[in-house]
Amino acid sequence: MPFNDLALDPRLLRSVQHLGFVKPTDIQAEAIPAVMVGRDLIVSSQTGSGKTLAYLLPMMQRLLKSRPLSKRDARALILAPTRELAKQVYAQLRLFVANTPLTSALIVGGENFNDQEKLLKREPDIIVATPGRFVDHLEHKSVFINGLEVLILDEADRMLDLGFMPQLTVINKAADHRLRQTLMFSATLDHAEVDELALALLKNPYRVAVGASYQQHQDINQQFYLADHLSHKEALLSHFLQQDDIKQLIIFTATREDAERLALLCQTLGKTAVGLSGKLSQSSRNSVMQAFASGKYQVLVTTDLASRGLDLLQVSHVINFDLPKHAEEYVHRIGRTGRAGAKGTAISLVGPKDVPALQRIEAFLRQAVSYSVVPGLEARFDGKPAVAAKPKAKKPQSSQNKAKAKPATSIKTKAVAKPQFFQGGDDGSAPVKRKQK
């Protein structure tokens, strides 16, 4: 289906043609008609799928075709988790706005607040923003969204991981009316908080899932190595750290203590390494991330997923020292590498305690993983779940022994007790931590 069949405004079509785009991508072909008939939308999509135009085009179509609900208020708001993404979206938007009477503004953190106030005084129709700074302006009454017609959340899951739920709630309330259309994009929809957000924001949404998240990451070489125990994992890690094709590396660990210990281990092996954990304040976390993004450190060791907020183009390797509790987190972790078409390597160390997590990952990826081996560091462990020991056959007991014998139930309990690997603490599991809301 060519773009011409989408019944878009000729001004928008002209810009599409100017960019040399002939056919909508799958996501555009599905999403644009649904939005044009006024439906709310929830889309699972990745960067590279053409998602930006999937929302920009129908949003602008609506603004061009309908009268503003309010003269003063912003008509469309696009929220993005990071300044980088907001700027990228704004650059695309500018190409389309140029051909129309619509006006736009970019409002992100880190830039002069007063200058932004001046921009907002001009009452732009479309605003691209990061949630934190936008809410600052809302509270300052430099912007009003009571008459907002379209609310768009780009990379909603990342916004949630960055702790933006409170800001999204404020924005939702400030623009709470029946005529608002809401479009939500997320790399994954298998995310409890995304569900919760969708429930709060969307009315009877049309769902689009093009290229489910398990199909992504062709640019990432995923490797799995078996390890017998903690020190075996450390020996493997030391081996991988010696490889010279590592530009930057992120190591994910289960516990804060491991993060600190492994950062030290990396340092003793001559690497510039820094640990990031939930123990640090938000501003210290930000500065660690900025320092890592700027290349000051080669290795980042982290317990949580704070790093999801940044596009770290130099990350050539990710090592899962422990596997994450949720399979979808595995996909996000390895997605820290292989960005923007670059090749990446994701190495996962699988110890006996990681087996349940591995099984979930295999189910999510819809394939069994195969293991690689480092010569000299082979594991005795075969990757199979531990089989519960069978209760020993009872020996016939003499009447004397019978008195001392333990009750049969205690033997049974011991035999079927499952190992508790995901209780947090030093147990080898990777808690999925979200930032404080």
* Residue 134 neighbours by CB under 8 Å, 6+ apart: 77, 79, 107, 127, 143, 167, 171
Q: Which of 63, 50, 123 is nearest to 89 (CA)?
A: 50
CB-CB contact of 266 with 273 (8 Å): yes
Q: Which is nearer to ligand AMP, 52 or 167 (CB)?
A: 52
Distance between CA atoms of 221 and 197, rounded to whole angstroms? 33
Rg (CA), the chain: 26
Task: Select the residue interacting with ligand AMP from 6, 12, 15, 28 (CB under 6 A).
Answer: 28
Q: Which of 44, 52, 82, 188 binds ligand AMP (CB under 6 A)?
A: 52
CB of 27 to ligand AMP, least distance (A): 8
Q: Which of 31, 34, 43, 53 binds ligand AMP (CB under 6 A)?
A: 53
Of the candidate residues 39, 51, 325, 326, the single one contacting ligand AMP (CB under 6 A): 51
Contact partners, residue 375, CB within 8 Å, separation at least 6: none
Residue written as tokens 């739920």? 165
Q: Binders of ligand AMP among 8-27, rule CB under 6 A?
A: 21, 23-25
Does residue number 49 form part of the binding site for ligand AMP (CB under 6 A)?
yes
Could you say whether residue 95 binds ligand AMP (CB under 6 A)?
Answer: no
206 in contact with ligand AMP (CB under 6 A)? no
Residue 278 binds to ligand AMP (criterion: CB under 6 A): no
Please identify, among the stretches 47-55, 162-170, 193-201, 213-221, the one whose residues bind ligand AMP according to the rule CB under 6 A. Answer: 47-55
Helix axes 355-365, 327-334, angle to 10 degrees: 80
- Count of residues interacting with ligand AMP (CB under 6 A): 12
Among 11, 26, 33, 47, binds ligand AMP (CB under 6 A): 47
The structure tokens listed for 250 are 């992120």
* E strand spans, 238-367: 248-252, 273-276, 299-302, 315-320, 344-350
CB burial of residue 190 (10 Å; 0-12, 13-18, 19+): middle
Residue 299 binds to ligand AMP (criterion: CB under 6 A)? no
Task: State yes or no: residue 166 binds ligand AMP (CB under 6 A).
Answer: no
- Tell the smallest beta-carbon distance from residue 38 to ligand AMP (Å): 22
Site residues (vs ligand AMP, CB under 6 A): 21, 23-25, 28, 47-53
